[in-house]
Amino acid sequence: MEEKEISQAVIGRLPRYFRYLGELRDDGVERISSQELSELMKVTASQIRQDFNNFGGFGQQGYGYNVEHLYREIGRILGLDKTHKFIIVGAGNLGQALGKYMNFERRGFLFCGMFDLNPELVGKEVRGVKVQPMESMAQFISENDIDIAVLTVPKTSVMEVAEKLVQCDIKAIWNFAHVDLNLPEGIQVENVHLSDSLMKLSYNINRYQKENEQSE
């Protein structure tokens, strides 16, 4: 119950804590204060304490947090103590690259199936997984307890595919198409809009250049 009201902003910061704590643990660090973690992560110590208080504070006692405990607790909150099975819909370059990406497996995300609208890609193999036609998707999802669909289809077919996935009772969609998906409430969506990120970079390059020209 206590996890119910937590804002997506706090949730969005948890993976970063998890990443830093994993590195500290790998480096053999046993305890860390919020002040030290603050310096390492370049966020304020009060932000860290506020974030952690959402989850009961993780029992900071005496000198700081127990790194191993904190790492495991945040992993559990993120659901990384369970495995999640995913399929990739869209077997183009990005879909194939994500299928081959081993790091997801390390975190318990298992690449189980791949689908494409294009019959020419059907039968192609990506890390031992054969591309199947879209018609086989519904049955595959239900028979294999698939949680997540990774969407790497072109913008033009994304709504059609998303609607099919809704009918299949998919739990979550990780969307790489350049469209914001508005789906029924029960389906979790995370958008990765690569072009948006690149445009932000472009803005910052130009702003910096302009500032420098003005100060010359």
Between 28 and 62, whose beta carbon lies closer to a second copy?
28
Please answer whether residues 87 and 146 qualify as being in contact, where contact means their C-beta atoms are separated by less than 8 angstroms. yes
Residue from 11, 45, 168, 181 binding a second copy (CB under 8 A): 11
DSSP code for 87: E
- Cβ pair 64, 34 in contact under 8 A: yes
| Cα 193-196-198 angle, rounded to 5 deg | 110
Q: How far is the CB of 91 from a second copy (least distance, A)?
A: 12
4 lies in the binding site for a second copy (CB under 8 A): yes
Q: Choose one: 31-39, 46-54, 99-107, 115-123; the region binding a second copy (CB under 8 A).
A: 99-107
What does the buried/exposed string (b/e) look like for 35-61 if buried means 16 or more CB atoms within 10 Å of the residue's CB?
ebbbeebebeeeebeebbebbeebebe
Query: Concatenated DSSP letters for 139-191?
Result: HHHHHTT--EEEE-S-GGGHHHHHHHHHHTT-SEEEE-SSS-----TTSEEEE
Q: Segment 118-177, which members bind a second copy (CB under 8 A)?
A: 147-148, 171-172, 174
Whichever of 82 and 143 has its CB closer to a second copy, that residue is 82
The residues pairing with 55 across neighbouring beta strands, listed in sequence order, are: none
* Contact string 15-34 vs a second copy (x = CB under 8 A): xx-xx---------------
Range in contact with a second copy (rule: CB under 8 A) among 31-39, 45-53, 56-64, 183-191: 183-191
Task: Tell whether residue 206 is a contact of a second copy (CB under 8 A).
Answer: yes
Residue 119 CB burial class (10 angstroms; 0-12, 13-18, ≥19):
exposed
Interface pick for a second copy out of 45, 78, 122, 168 (rule CB under 8 A): 78
Least CB distance from residue 26 to a second copy, whole Å? 11
Phi/psi for 53 (5° steps) reads -65, -25
Which residues make up the interface to a second copy (CB under 8 A)? 1, 3-4, 8, 11-12, 14-16, 18-19, 41-42, 77-80, 82, 84, 93-94, 96-98, 100-101, 103-104, 107, 109, 147-148, 171-172, 174, 178, 180, 182, 186, 188, 190, 192-211, 214
